[in-house]
């Protein structure tokens, strides 16, 4: 475990500007606006090799560069605080623990990209966090960190807080933008990407909370200090949210490059009641289900890519042997069925047919053909859906078919090793 | 503009930057199937039927919404693509009421065609479609949710072209549907019945309420004297339903057909269009000379009337009090015509053939019975006329052209152009000019008021006054001009508003057609005008007779009783 | 009768005023729709937005009613149907699922005598599932209005309901 991006969480009073500043807060911003040109700030972020912490791991500096190159007198910074990926609660720790750090990150981003307006899109499920953010923005406005002529400079930037209202898809940046505009959160097709056409069709930077929280630190300590953490291709630290059948649940900051095994056994104390670990799901419900045999994998973007696995939001759900694979997948797909926006055919229609097939399998009426259909729909969703939601929804199906194919086959033969599925030819599972 | 080199199915093509894969493929005659895509609408990218393979990419790209990149290598018809498209279609079909044989779109359904082209021979998935009752508790439009494929075209036209928003996407995921707030019937929301949603629907999810059977029934009733009128836009578009080129003029064939199936008299709505010009022209002059409410706005488009009643009741006194030509016709048929030919009006059935779905609702307005009876009994759309023709098994292509019956068959070119946006204004100016100045108008073509543009304006010197006019079509443009009036920024004397984009030739009851086809229809409309012996409404000799024998004078007592009406504040709905 | 009508009129007026006040506080632009809907719902004892309220919002923001309804129906936190004063949202996302959220739902159903999706007769509680509420370290967890309750078992669930009922008395 390390303490970098979350170092002030729990250490200072979240809304105390004084405590924040006493602990180095706003050093990064001061350095940027008093001593650096906007393009130099972008350069530092590029040099740090910081990658987006929301799930897609896109190089942050490059994204900033795209927006800074856009010629528009209206640009927006959006902090994506719509942490909806099941099993992910690390942004909440940052938002509740050190909101000023995230806002500082936004102000620096605005300075670097010449944006004048920002939004924090906070998920509706976090009403108390929203209150904290509202207060934080007010404090910073009063103290001249937000508003016109920030710290007496020719630089103006202000932030509005917008609340989600229960839609996982709004974590997808274009759906999020639609939601800020007051619409249902239905993803737009890309391109155009938000850096060229985002909020109100203007250049828009959408960064995750954790990404933005890293920014002030990179600015104040320098890219090199940041790069001391992590591996060659994966710099910095990562907040991981651990949940499930494990002794210590919670948010932990680790260096990128740490293995899953270290996290689960050394940091989190292993499985509860020493039950056998079945798999871990990495990155939330849209992530891969990784069996015990692969726990030596390092949380490193390049290494994960070799296994076609994404780090995603950094959620780790530990699942022990008492959970039935089929039942778990059905629960996962019910989540996606509930959360699909309904716009594109593969995702709107695919999820419900997958559930119907899983129902058949759980009821003891599944056949080889059902497995084929399952693969077909999943592949179509992955390859033809309009946005990341539909594309990633079947990830757990692919990985469990790959690593737990036997358990699917057992179900076809009318046997559930966990005793969860009722194989009496009934539609519903116990 | 930057040029982009791409390769599609092995063929190199150079296109401007920003071109979509779909359009780049079109350029080299490679046809990519589409479903949610509509050439006159925004790109949606939602159905995913147009997916293609792009080299080096692990996912498909939707051709409609993906701009080409330099060096892109695209394959549009591989096994992988075909199978994925097939799966997409099967997913759509699993949630679609596939009763094609009894569907109104049987034979011209975009989904049906795609299924045929993709060799769909089975649906691998469980049927999940909900067979809900059909919504038809209103005079004009039927909605069948079980057919809806959620392409979103109707939502776009209702919200963004017409600016109404009677319908929207409700719910999400597989529960997502197109509907009204709280699932209300269309008659209980602010729907103008313009029918533009029908014109863009690729399937049979939304269509006009059919009144064909009522026509057959009347025709077979020996006690009834059944007369029919046909609107100007119908004659330049019906041919499309029978394989003719867009813009074909089939007036004489339709007349011949209608006579053949037993209508006692075949009349022309153009006659009452001429009459509208006389009444409306005089109303305008009266308002100008007597400090009346200006700008005066035309009132012949019933979708537009409903719009202003719903959304701008405070501006209702800007509307001309003239009834629409359809309704003037009905009122005269059951009075003047009945008297003249000694027919009991109770036995007269008046059928209208209109390019319009809103006309069905207009005929049922309680004010529209000034003859003592419901003035118009049945309204058929152009599409229904086509079905009537097919049902009769008469081959319209082979019919000889015939003329309308008198008295309501003599009409002018001014009336003909009512069917296109700007036409009413142009016709009115031809008459008003001569009425006021007493001089002959030499150049009677007001070309700056013509064409498919949503907003046009002009100034015409009429005697002492510069008459300032504006022409809008599409209700979003109507809203714009009403806002201008509210803000005191519309110093026009006269405004023509047509509910549907392009005017009546683009009406909600017309054969489905893109903007390109609408342009052809407009050209045909002006061809009818040019070919007319008389091109000014006030020169119509039968109109003169009508005033002499019956109405006495424009805006006179009888005109007021039969040809003018009033409007209602419907903002509360 | 007349007196009653006057009173109803007054109530309607007050509602108009209350909604307009919310709109003015949050901002009268169409992009604020979701914020306004959330606030209107929050002020309701029945945790939903009524048709009348939606109509006022539609009129004030000049957004078609169908769209206002479409937005309200899209977001799962917004409701156009009556709910309990306390909306019990049981998380059924994966981290709670592996910690037996199905049992939690059953306990709540038994304790309240209603099924998922229903409201208790006294209008105090309604039960529904929710996607992840970010309380995964406390799974199985529920959210009741704005409060999170975690590490639930049968006893805890009964205690929570009892204490909320007491608050109401």
User: Across the interface, do A163 and C37 touch by the CB < 8 Å criterion?
Assistant: no
DSSP annotation of A215 reads H
Beta bridge partners of B51: B62
A5 domain-assigned: no
d(CA B215, CA B224) in angstroms, rounded, equals 11
Residues of B within 8 A of A374 (CB-CB) are none
From B164, B166, B171, residue closest to C73, measured CB to CB: B171
A367 domain-assigned: yes
Query: By C-alpha distance, which of B540, B504, B543 is closest to B524?
Result: B504
Beta bridge partners of B206: B143
Query: Best of B118, B172, B175, B179 to disrupt the A interface by mutation (most A CBs within 10 Å)?
Result: B172
CATH of domain B212-563: 3.40.50.1780
Which CATH number goes with the domain that contains A125? 3.40.50.11540
ipTM over 0.90: yes
**Where does a domain end: C22, C45, C74?**
C74
Range of the domain at C117: 86-168
| C90 and C145, same domain (yes or no) | yes
Nearest CA in chain B to C65: B181
Verify whether residue B309 is a known catalytic residue.
Answer: no
What are C132's two structure tokens?
A: 């992840």
User: Across the interface, do A335 and C131 touch by the CB < 8 Å criterion?
Assistant: yes
Burial class (CB in 10 A: 0-12, 13-18, 19+), B210: middle
- The answer to whether the bond into A191 is cis (omega within 30° of 0) is yes
**B174/chain A closest Cα distance in angstroms:** 5
| C67 and C128, same domain (yes or no) | no
Which CATH number goes with the domain that contains C96? 3.40.30.10
Is the CB of residue A354 less than 8 Å away from at least one CB of chain B?
no
Verify whether residue B237 is a known catalytic residue.
Answer: no
Query: By C-alpha distance, which of C89, C103, C102 is closest to C135?
Result: C89
Residue B447 makes CB contacts below 8 A (sequence gap 6+) with: none
**Where does a domain end: C43, C74, C105?**
C74
- SS3 of B15, please? strand
- The answer to whether the bond into A192 is cis (omega within 30° of 0) is yes
Is the CB of residue C37 less than 8 Å away from at least one CB of chain A?
yes
Verify whether residue B320 is a known catalytic residue.
Answer: yes
Range of the domain at A313: 237-320
Beta bridge partners of A289: A281
Q: Which helix (H) or strand (E) holds A377?
A: helix A368-384
User: Across the interface, do A87 and C137 touch by the CB < 8 Å criterion?
Assistant: no
Dihedrals φ, ψ of A136, to 5°?
-60, -45
User: Across the interface, do C77 and A165 touch by the CB < 8 Å criterion?
Assistant: yes
Is the CB of residue A350 less than 8 Å away from at least one CB of chain B?
yes
**Where does a domain end: A320, A346, A362?**
A320
Residues of B within 8 A of C54 (CB-CB) are 181
Residues of A within 8 A of B72 (CB-CB) are none
Is the CB of residue C13 less than 8 Å away from at least one CB of chain A?
no
* Whole-angstrom Cα Rg for chain C: 18
d(CA B320, CA B268) in angstroms, rounded, equals 22
C127 domain-assigned: yes
Which spans in B344-422 are helix H? 358-363, 382-392, 413-416
Residue C140 is assigned to a ligand binding site: no
What's the pLDDT band for C103 if we cut at 50, 70, 90?
A: very high
Residue C47 is assigned to a ligand binding site: no
Catalytic member of B151, B158, B197, B300: B300
Verify whether residue B406 is a known catalytic residue.
Answer: no
What's the pLDDT band for A152 if we cut at 50, 70, 90?
A: very high
Q: What class has domain B93-208?
A: alpha beta
| A315 and A253, same domain (yes or no) | yes
Predicted confidence at residue B163, as pLDDT, reads: 97
Rounded to 5°, the CA angle A298-A302-A307 comes to 75
Is the CB of residue B482 less than 8 Å away from at least one CB of chain C?
no
What are A46's two structure tokens?
A: 């590029």
Residues of chain B with pLDDT under 50: none
Predicted confidence at residue C11, as pLDDT, reads: 73
d(CA B380, CA B211) in angstroms, rounded, equals 6
Predicted confidence at residue A424, as pLDDT, reads: 67
| A308 and A352, same domain (yes or no) | no
User: Across the interface, do A86 and C94 touch by the CB < 8 Å criterion?
Assistant: yes
- The answer to whether the bond into C140 is cis (omega within 30° of 0) is yes
Instruction: Provide the Cα torsion B114, B247, B214, B109; round to 10°.
Output: 0
Predicted confidence at residue C12, as pLDDT, reads: 73
| C99 and C151, same domain (yes or no) | yes
Residue B179 makes CB contacts below 8 A (sequence gap 6+) with: B145, B167, B168, B170, C66
Each residue's pLDDT tens digit, A263-286? 999 999 999 998 999 999 999 999
From C71, C76, C137, residue closest to A183, measured CB to CB: C71
From C34, C131, C138, residue closest to A339, measured CB to CB: C131
How would DSSP label each residue in B77-124?
S-HHHHHHHHHHHHHHHHTS---GGGSTTTTS-HHHHHHHHTT-----
Each residue's pLDDT tens digit, A232-275? 999 999 999 999 999 999 999 999 999 999 999 999 999 999 89
Residues of C within 8 A of A162 (CB-CB) are 34-35
From B48, B65, B172, residue closest to A341, measured CB to CB: B172
Query: Best of C66, C76, C79 to disrupt the B interface by mutation (most B CBs within 10 Å)?
Result: C66
Residue A103 makes CB contacts below 8 A (sequence gap 6+) with: A120, A136, A137, A140, A145, A146, A159
d(CA C61, CA C55) in angstroms, rounded, equals 10
B-contacting chains (≥3 CB pairs under 8 Å): A, C
| A257 and A113, same domain (yes or no) | no
| C57 and C97, same domain (yes or no) | no
Each residue's pLDDT tens digit, A10-45? 999 999 999 999 999 999 999 999 999 999 999 999
Verify whether residue B280 is a known catalytic residue.
Answer: yes
A-contacting chains (≥3 CB pairs under 8 Å): B, C
Give B 196-255 residues with CB within 8 A of chain A: none
Residue C71 is assigned to a ligand binding site: no
Dihedrals φ, ψ of B399, to 5°?
-75, 145
**Where does a domain end: C27, C47, C74?**
C74
Q: Is the pTM of this model over 0.90?
A: yes
Go through chain B and tell me how many residues it has.
Answer: 573
From B58, B67, B126, residue closest to A353, measured CB to CB: B126
From C30, C32, C77, residue closest to A124, measured CB to CB: C77
Predicted confidence at residue A426, as pLDDT, reads: 40
- The answer to whether the bond into B87 is cis (omega within 30° of 0) is no
Predicted confidence at residue A349, as pLDDT, reads: 98
A146 domain-assigned: yes
User: Across the interface, do C69 and B190 touch by the CB < 8 Å criterion?
Assistant: no
Instruction: Please give the CATH architecture assigned to the domain spanning B3-77.
Output: Roll (3.10)
| A33 and A165, same domain (yes or no) | yes
Verify whether residue B504 is a known catalytic residue.
Answer: yes
| A306 and A349, same domain (yes or no) | no
Within 10 Å of residue B17's Cβ, how many Cβ atoms?
12
Q: How many domains does chain A have?
A: 3
Residues of A within 8 A of C30 (CB-CB) are 181-182
What's the pLDDT band for A428 if we cut at 50, 70, 90?
A: very low
Beta bridge partners of B354: B381
Which CATH number goes with the domain that contains A342? 1.20.1440.230
Strand C142-144 relative to strand C86-91, pairing: antiparallel
Mean pLDDT of chain A: 96
| A256 and A346, same domain (yes or no) | no
Assess contact for A28 and A216: CB atoms under 8 A.
yes
| C90 and C28, same domain (yes or no) | no
**B174/chain C closest Cα distance in angstroms:** 12
A246: left (phi over 0), alpha (psi -120 to 50) or beta: beta
From B165, B171, B172, residue closest to C66, measured CB to CB: B165
For CA atoms B39, B41, B44, B46, the dihedral sign is: negative
Lowest mean pLDDT among A415-424, B347-356, C130-139, C156-165: A415-424
d(CA A48, CA A31) in angstroms, rounded, equals 16
Question: What are the contacts of C21-29 at 24+ separation with CB within 8 A?
Answer: C23/C57, C23/C60, C23/C61, C28/C60, C28/C61, C29/A182, C29/C61
Give C 68-87 residues with CB within 8 A of chain B: 68-70, 73-74, 80
Instruction: Provide the Cα torsion B316, B449, B352, B206; round to 10°.
Output: -80
C80 domain-assigned: no
Each residue's pLDDT tens digit, B183-203? 999 999 999 999 999 999 999
Which spans in A156-315 are helix H? 173-180, 209-221, 223-227, 260-261, 301-306
C-contacting chains (≥3 CB pairs under 8 Å): A, B
| C102 and C151, same domain (yes or no) | yes
Catalytic member of B248, B253, B504, B519: B504
Residue found under tokens 């776009």: B156
| C90 and C147, same domain (yes or no) | yes
B571: left (phi over 0), alpha (psi -120 to 50) or beta: alpha
Catalytic member of B53, B208, B279, B362: B362
**B184/chain C closest Cα distance in angstroms:** 10
Within 10 Å of residue B291's Cβ, how many Cβ atoms?
7
Nearest CA in chain B to C71: B170
What's the pLDDT band for A427 if we cut at 50, 70, 90?
A: very low
**A328/chain C closest Cα distance in angstroms:** 8
| A156 and A87, same domain (yes or no) | yes
Half-sphere exposure (CA, 13 Å, Cβ side) for B229?
A: 33
**A72/chain B closest Cα distance in angstroms:** 20
Predicted confidence at residue C5, as pLDDT, reads: 64
Assess contact for B18 and B27: CB atoms under 8 A.
no
C14: left (phi over 0), alpha (psi -120 to 50) or beta: alpha
C79 domain-assigned: no
**C70/chain A closest Cα distance in angstroms:** 7
Nearest CA in chain C to A125: C133
SS (H, E, C) B25-37: HHHCCCCCCCCCC
Domain extent listing, chain B: 3-77, 93-208, 212-563
Residue C12 is assigned to a ligand binding site: no
Assess contact for B24 and B13: CB atoms under 8 A.
yes
């Amino acid at each position: 475990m390390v303490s970098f991006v979350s170092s002030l969480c729990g250490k200072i009073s979240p809304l105390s500007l004084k405590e924040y500043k006493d602990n180095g807060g706003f050093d990064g911003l001061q350095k940027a606006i008093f001593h650096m040109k906007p393009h130099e700030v972008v350069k530092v972020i590029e040099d740090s090799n910081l990658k987006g912490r929301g799930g897609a791991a896109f190089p942050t500096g490059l994204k900033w560069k795209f927006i800074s190159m856009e010629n528009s007198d209206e640009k927006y910074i959006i902090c994506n605080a719509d942490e909806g990926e099941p099993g992910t609660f690390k942004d909440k720790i940052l938002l509740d623990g050190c909101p000023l750090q995230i806002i500082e990150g936004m102000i620096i981003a605005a300075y670097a990209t010449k944006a004048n307006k920002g939004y924090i899109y906070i998920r509706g499920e976090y009403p108390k966090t929203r209150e904290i953010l509202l207060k934080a923005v007010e404090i910073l406005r009063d103290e001249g960190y937000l508003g016109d002529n920030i710290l007496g400079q020719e630089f103006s930037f202000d932030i509005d807080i917008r609340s989600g209202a229960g839609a996982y898809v709004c974590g997808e940046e274009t759906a999020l933008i639609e939601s800020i505009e007051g619409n249902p959160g239905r993803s737009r097709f890309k391109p155009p990407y938000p850096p060229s056409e985002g909020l109100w069709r203007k250049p828009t930077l959408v960064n995750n909370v954790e990404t933005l929280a890293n920014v002030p630190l990179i600015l104040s300590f320098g890219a090199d200090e940041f790069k001391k953490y992590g591996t060659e291709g994966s710099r910095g630290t990562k907040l991981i949210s651990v949940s499930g059948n494990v002794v210590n649940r919670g948010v932990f900051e680790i260096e990128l490059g740490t293995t899953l095994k270290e996290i689960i056994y050394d940091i989190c104390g292993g499985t509860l009641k020493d039950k056998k670990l079945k798999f871990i799901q990495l990155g939330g419900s849209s992530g891969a289900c990784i069996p015990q045999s692969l726990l030596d994998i390092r949380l490193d973007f390049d290494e994960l890519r070799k296994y076609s696995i994404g780090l995603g939001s950094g959620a780790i759900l530990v699942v022990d042997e008492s959970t039935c694979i089929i039942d778990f997948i059905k629960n996962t797909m019910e989540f996606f069925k509930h959360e699909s926006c309904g716009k594109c055919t593969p995702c709107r229609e695919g999820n419900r047919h997958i559930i119907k097939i899983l129902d058949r399998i759980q009821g003891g009426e599944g056949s080889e053909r059902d497995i084929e259909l399952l693969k077909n729909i999943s592949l179509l969703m992955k390859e033809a859906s309009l946005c990341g939601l539909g594309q990633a929804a079947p990830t757990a199906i692919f990985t469990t078919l790959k690593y737990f194919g036997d358990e699917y086959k057992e179900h076809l033969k009318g046997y559930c090793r966990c005793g969860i599925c009722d194989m009496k030819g009934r539609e519903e599972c116990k | 503009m930057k040029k982009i080199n791409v390769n599609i199915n092995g063929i190199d093509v150079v296109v401007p930057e920003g071109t979509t894969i779909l359009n780049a493929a079109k350029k080299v005659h490679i046809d990519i199937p589409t479903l949610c895509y509509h050439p006159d609408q925004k790109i949606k990218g939602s159905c995913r039927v147009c997916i293609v393979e792009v080299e080096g990419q692990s996912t498909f790209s939707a051709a409609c919404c993906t701009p080409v990149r330099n060096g892109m290598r695209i394959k549009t018809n591989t096994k992988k693509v075909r199978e994925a498209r097939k799966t997409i279609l099967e997913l759509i079909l699993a949630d679609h009421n596939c009763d094609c044989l009894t569907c109104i779109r049987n034979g011209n359904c975009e989904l049906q065609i795609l299924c045929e082209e993709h060799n769909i021979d089975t649906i691998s998935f469980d049927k999940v479609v909900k067979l809900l009752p059909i919504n038809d508790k209103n005079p004009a439009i039927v909605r069948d949710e079980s057919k809806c494929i959620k392409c979103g075209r109707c939502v776009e036209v209702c919200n963004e072209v017409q600016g109404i928003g009677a319908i929207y996407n409700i719910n999400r995921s597989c529960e997502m549907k197109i509907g009204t707030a709280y699932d209300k019937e269309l008659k209980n929301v602010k729907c103008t019945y313009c029918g533009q949603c029908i014109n863009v629907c690729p399937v049979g999810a939304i269509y006009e309420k059919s009144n064909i059977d009522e026509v057959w029934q009347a025709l077979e009733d020996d006690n009834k004297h059944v007369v029919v009128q046909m609107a100007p836009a119908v004659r330049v578009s019906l041919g499309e339903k029978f394989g003719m080129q867009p813009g074909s003029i089939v007036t004489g064939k339709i007349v011949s057909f209608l006579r053949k199936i037993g209508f006692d008299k075949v009349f022309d709505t153009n006659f009452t269009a001429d009459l509208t010009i006389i009444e409306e022209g005089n109303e305008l002059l009266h308002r100008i000379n007597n400090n009346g409410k200006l700008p005066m706005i035309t009132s012949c488009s019933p979708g537009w009337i409903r719009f202003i009643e719903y959304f701008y009741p405070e501006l209702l006194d800007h509307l001309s009090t003239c009834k629409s030509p359809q309704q003037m016709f009905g009122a005269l048929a059951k009075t003047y015509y009945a008297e003249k030919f000694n027919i009991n009006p109770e036995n007269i059935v008046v059928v209208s053939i209109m390019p319009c779905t809103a006309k069905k609702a207009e005929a049922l307005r309680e004010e529209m019975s000034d003859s003592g009876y419901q003035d118009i009994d049945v309204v058929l759309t152009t599409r229904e006329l086509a079905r009537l023709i097919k049902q009769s098994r008469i081959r319209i292509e082979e019919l000889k052209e015939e003329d309308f019956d008198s008295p309501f068959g003599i009409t002018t070119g001014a009336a003909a152009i009512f069917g296109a946006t700007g036409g009413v204004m142009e016709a009115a100016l031809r008459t008003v000019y001569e009425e006021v100045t007493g001089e002959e108008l030499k150049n009677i073509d007001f070309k700056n008021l013509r064409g498919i543009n949503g907003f046009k304006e002009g100034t015409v010197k009429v005697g002492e006054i510069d008459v300032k006019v504006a022409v809008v079509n599409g209700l979003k443009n109507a809203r714009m001009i009403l806002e201008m009036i509210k803000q005191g920024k519309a110093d026009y004397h006269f405004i023509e508003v047509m509910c549907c984009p392009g005017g009546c030739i683009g009406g909600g009851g017309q054969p489905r057609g893109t903007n390109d086809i609408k342009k052809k229809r407009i050209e045909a409309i002006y061809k009818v005008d040019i070919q007319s012996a008389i091109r000014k409404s006030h020169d119509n000799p039968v109109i003169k007779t009508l005033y002499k024998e019956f109405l006495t004078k424009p805006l006179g007592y009888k005109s007021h009783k039969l040809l003018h009406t009033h409007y209602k504040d419907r903002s509360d709905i | 009768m007349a007196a009653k009508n006057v009173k109803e009129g007054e109530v309607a007026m007050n509602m108009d005023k209350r909604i307009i006040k919310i709109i003015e506080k949050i901002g009268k632009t169409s992009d604020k729709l979701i914020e306004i809907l959330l606030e209107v719902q929050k002020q309701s004892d029945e945790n939903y937005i009524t048709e009348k309220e939606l109509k006022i919002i539609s009129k004030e923001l000049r957004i078609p009613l169908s769209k206002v309804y479409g937005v309200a129906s899209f977001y799962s936190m917004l409701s156009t149907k009556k709910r309990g004063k306390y909306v019990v949202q049981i998380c059924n996302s994966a981290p709670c699922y592996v910690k037996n959220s199905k049992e939690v739902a059953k306990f709540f159903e038994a304790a309240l005598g209603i099924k998922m999706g229903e409201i208790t007769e006294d209008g105090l509680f309604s039960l529904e599932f929710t996607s992840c509420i970010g309380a995964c370290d406390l799974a199985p967890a529920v959210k009741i209005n704005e409060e999170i309750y975690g590490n639930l078992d049968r006893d805890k669930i009964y205690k929570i309901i009892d204490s909320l009922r007491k608050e109401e008395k």
